[in-house]
Structure 1
Amino acid sequence: MSKSLDRLTLLETFVRIADAGSISAAARDLDLSQPSVSRQLAELESRFKSQLMRRTTHDLSLTTAGAELLADARQLLDEWEALEEKHLETEETLRGKLKVVVPVALGQLYLLDTVLQFQHQHPHIALSWQLEDQNIRFAEVGCDCWIKIGSVPDESLIVEPLGQVERMAVATPELFEIYGRPKTPADLEKLPCVALEPFEGGHIPLTHAKGKTVTVSPPIRMTTNNISAVRKATLAGLGLAILPRWLIEDELNKHQLVDLLPLWRAPKLTICVASLPGRHRPRRLQSFLDILKVTVPKIPGVEPLSHKVVHRRDFRA
């Protein structure tokens, strides 16, 4: 085995340990013994003359040097894989691993069917489908792409918009019996509100179909960072909420929820997909992104964009 391959193997093992969260879990993933994986980590630390991971009986965490190496190792391994793929273009079958991070509700209700179809079409791809509503550290997570509703805080990534989400003020009909049905945006301030963090707080802008914008401040009865919890609390009658049509299409059709002000809408949010810049995209990733660009605009309440431009942020937050 050559020295260069030895180095790549050590980096691959290091990344696997970081992803798995423990040496024993990484050993199982790699089909190696735990002592063998420990020796590889020790050899890598010896080569870099630095402790990369802190190991205790119950926990494992990256040191500062380890976190820096992890990001560089992921990039190096991606580039090596891209180089292999570039010189093996004669093989048409898509292979390899693909890791995608996606919002929980969107990933469960709509995009999971897309993923399952993709898996059927490409059975040699090992796909990791991670549901996560919170912001991630892209390099540390080690994903290939991150589907996000709203702005992507990591300015170093390439961000491609996929569609815009229609959002509206909704509530149960039973709530009208207590507070009355609102006829104007100002009437919303008479109803309690279930708010989704970080998009809704004490002040909610609403725009009329003709362009006029007003801001309302209904009393907040409950806040949560999970959109499914907002939906459930709204269906339970806790208050009005600003929700996307894609999440409540069935409830609107069944009149379990009512669009309170059909001519007024909350600010649209963009569904986008983020990936790393400066790399040759593996064909499996590009194929998956191509499917997303077709599928996402077909989701109820998601408006296709007139143009889809790849946005490169050239500054850091």
Structure 2
Amino acid sequence: MSKPLDRLTLLESFVRISDRGSISAAARDLGLSQASASRQLKELETRLGTQLIRRTTHSLALTQSGQALLRDARELLAGWENLQERHSEGDQAVRGPLKVVAPVALGQLQLADIALDFQLRYPQISLTWELEDQPIRFAEVGCDCWIKVGPVPDDTLIVRELGRVERMLVASPGLVGARSFAKPDEVAGLPFAALTAFEGARIPLTSSRGRRHELKPRVAIATNNIFALQRAALKGVGVAVLPRWFVQKDLDEGRLLDLLPKWRAARLTINAAFLPARRQPQRLSLFLAALARGVESIPGIE
């Protein structure tokens, strides 16, 4: 009879092949030859009496049985890691893989340093830091934590709010000249650049006194990328709704203007989502705590 560790090894290989979508890539990660990784997959399929992965010339795809096993395999491996943590001492207990998916701009410009400092603090952690603005399928991606700006469209996950993003109407001096604006109606005739993930041709605003107004501007350009939106605002293509943390330097140096200082666009929530579990792996709990502390220090995020 095979030892339990052998079974865990087979499951670990299967999960890595599923995550990487390639036997050769998984083999490199695991320090195996491609032939060894293939044999482990075949042995697991033989033991379970079912095909887990369909192989084609150019790709791999999980069968229905493979998709079901992937969820169970992750839980079993997480349980083994929790057991190791409970019976280890000090920082040596904080080890293993940690995969985080974060939004592109926030993850690149603000959150990356939090993640890197965390990895330096716990060098036994193998960190994967992926940037993605589009919704993900959590189980298929195989991540431990999904940082999402806006609502998390997956009610199977635990969602923890990290902060709320202050957003404002900004424009270049070249677009508005020496004009100043006090009311939303006064900017309605200007061209706008819209971030399609959050605003289109309707922009709800709230004043510092709690009054509400909905702008319906002419959209000169729409994009799903915040860097392109910033460029459009800087070049004077249109007014844009952008988060303070992203444009604070442009505001300080006069490249962009806070068009309506007493009005703000709807705040967006920054959320951290993760799978429910009887006991979270220590590395995930520690990362979530470090993330919460780091977000607190970002200007323009409450």
State the match for 1:92 in structure 2: 91
Give a deviation string over 1:84-127, Cα, whole Å, max 9, x none. 21232x34322211111111111111112222222222222111
State the match for 1:232 in structure 2: 231
**Which is further off, 241-250 or 281-290?**
281-290
State the match for 1:202 in structure 2: 201
Aligned residue for 1:51, secondary structure, equals: coil
State the match for 1:283 in structure 2: 282
Q: What are the within-5 Å matches in structure 2 for residues 246-257 of structure 1?
A: 246-257=245-256
**Which is further off, 187-196 or 202-211?**
187-196
**Which is further off, 205-214 or 44-53?**
44-53
Unmatched segments (≥5 aa) in structure 2:
none
**Which is further off, 258-267 or 19-28?**
19-28
How far 1:43 moved relative to its partner? 2.1
State the match for 2:30 in structure 1: 30
Letter in 2 for 1:164: R
Q: Distance in 1 between matches of 2:284 and 2:160?
A: 14
State the match for 2:74 in structure 1: 74
Letter in 2 for 1:211: G
Q: What are the within-5 Å matches in structure 2 for residues 1-317 of structure 1?
A: 2-88=2-88, 90-93=89-92, 94-177=94-177, 182-303=181-302
Q: Distance in 1 between matches of 2:80 and 2:214?
A: 52
How far 1:181 moved relative to its partner? 5.1
How far 1:26 moved relative to its partner? 0.9
How far 1:51 moved relative to its partner? 2.4
Do 2:182 and 2:262's aligned partners in 1 also have CA atoms closer than 8 Å?
Answer: no
Q: Distance in 1 between matches of 2:154 and 2:187?
A: 35
Q: Distance in 2 between matches of 1:92 and 1:125?
A: 10
Q: Distance in 1 between matches of 2:281 and 2:232?
A: 42
Q: Normalising by the residue count of structure 2, what TM-score does the alignment of the two structures yield?
A: 0.94
Q: Normalising by the residue count of structure 1, what TM-score does the alignment of the two structures yield?
A: 0.90
Q: Percent identity?
A: 57
Give a deviation string over 1:4-56, Cα, whole Å, max 9, x none. 22221111101111122211111111111111111211222233333222212
Q: Distance in 2 between matches of 1:107 and 1:44?
A: 37
Q: Distance in 1 between matches of 2:188 and 2:180?
A: 12
Aligned residue for 1:269, secondary structure, equals: strand
Unmatched segments (≥5 aa) in structure 1:
304-317
How far 1:182 moved relative to its partner? 4.1
Letter in 1 for 2:155: E
Q: Cα RMSD over matched residues?
A: 1.7
How far 1:68 moved relative to its partner? 2.3
Do 1:79 and 1:279's aligned partners in 2 also have CA atoms closer than 8 Å?
Answer: no
Q: Distance in 1 between matches of 2:55 and 2:234?
A: 46
Q: Distance in 1 between matches of 2:224 and 2:182?
A: 29
Q: Distance in 1 between matches of 2:33 and 2:293?
A: 44
Letter in 2 for 1:217: K
Aligned residue for 2:139, secondary structure, equals: helix
Aligned residue for 2:91, secondary structure, equals: coil
